[in-house]
Amino acid sequence: MHSAEGEVVRRRLLRKKNLDLKFMGQYFKDIWEGIWTVLVGMKITWSHLFTPAVTIQYPDVKLKLPERARNRLYVNMDDCIGCDQCSMACPVDCITIETLKSTPDVDLGLTSVGTKKRLYVTRFDIDIAKCCYCGLCVPPCPTECIKMTDVYEFSEYERNNLIYKYATMTPAEIDAAKAKLLAYEKAEAEKKAAKHVAPQPNS
């Protein structure tokens, strides 16, 4: 006959045995799962081995840039009227413009949009190293002469080479224009003074 105590011990042992079997099962299951998941991973990498690469070999192959890509600035000096609006719009002050008034006898011509040019542009420097490619200089331009191109390869060995000088006038031309302006202003001032002085005795 089984005693009650014996029954309890027997049941406890059975439970322990079941638990051990469960752990044992888990052990083999883990190993199997380990091997299986490794094989699954290997299958994935194997398939990628034959997937065409997504690499674009840059200097040999170049991606087409978006239509409105903003890269190196370009100024068409034929159209520039020296209004300084691009320079004022620039948040990093990378555009420096100096102008000189022309005398009435000189015709500087028209821009392509029909604006009359009145100023000599003696200096138009863009420090492209400073440029942040925001494009804010482009919309204010009344003659649409400053624009962002799609050129992006312009590294230089010298930092100074990154200051682009767009002004077309030679120093000699600038000096001549300056002298002419001075002479004109002097003549104007004299004329004005003479006009101003002449009526005096009558009053």
Partner 1 sequence: MKEFLINLLQNDILAYALMAFVPLAWIVPFALFAVWWERKISAHMQDRLGPMRTGGWHGWAQTIADILKLIQKEDIIPSAADRLLFTLAPFVVFVGSYAAFAAIPFSAAYIGSEVNVGLFYVISISSLVVIGLLMAGWASNNKWSLFGAMRSAAQIVSYEIPIALALLAVVMVVGSFDLQEINRAQSGFFWNWFVFQKFPLLFLAAIIYFVASLAEVNRTPFDIPEAESELVAGYHTEYGGMKFALFFLAEYANMFAVSAIASTVFFGGWNSPFGDFLSGPWWGAFWFISKGMTFIFVHMWLRWTLPRLRVDQLMYVGWKVLIPFSFVIVIGIGFWLMVVR
Judged by the rule CB under 8 A, the positions of this chain that interact with partner 1 are: 31, 38, 41-42, 44-46, 48-55, 57
Cα–Cα distances (Å) from 192 to 161, 167, 196, in that order, read 47, 34, 6
Kindly tell me which of 47 and 200 has the beta carbon lying closer to partner 1: 47
Q: Pairing between strand 73-75 and 146-148? A: antiparallel
Rounded least distance, CB 65 to partner 1, Å: 22
How is residue 159 written in tokens? 């930092």
Q: Is 34 exposed, middle or buried (0-12, 13-18, 19+ CB in 10 A)?
A: exposed
Please state the φ and ψ torsions of residue 140, each to the nearest 5 degrees.
-70, -20
Kindly tell me which of 59 and 114 has the beta carbon lying closer to partner 1: 59
Rounded least distance, CB 42 to partner 1, Å: 5
Kindly tell me which of 53 and 197 has the beta carbon lying closer to partner 1: 53
Rounded least distance, CB 112 to partner 1, Å: 45
Kindly tell me which of 52 and 199 has the beta carbon lying closer to partner 1: 52
Q: What distance separates the 2 farthest-apart alpha carbons in the chain?
A: 155
**Residue that the structure tokens 């890269």 belong to:** 71
Rounded least distance, CB 31 to partner 1, Å: 6
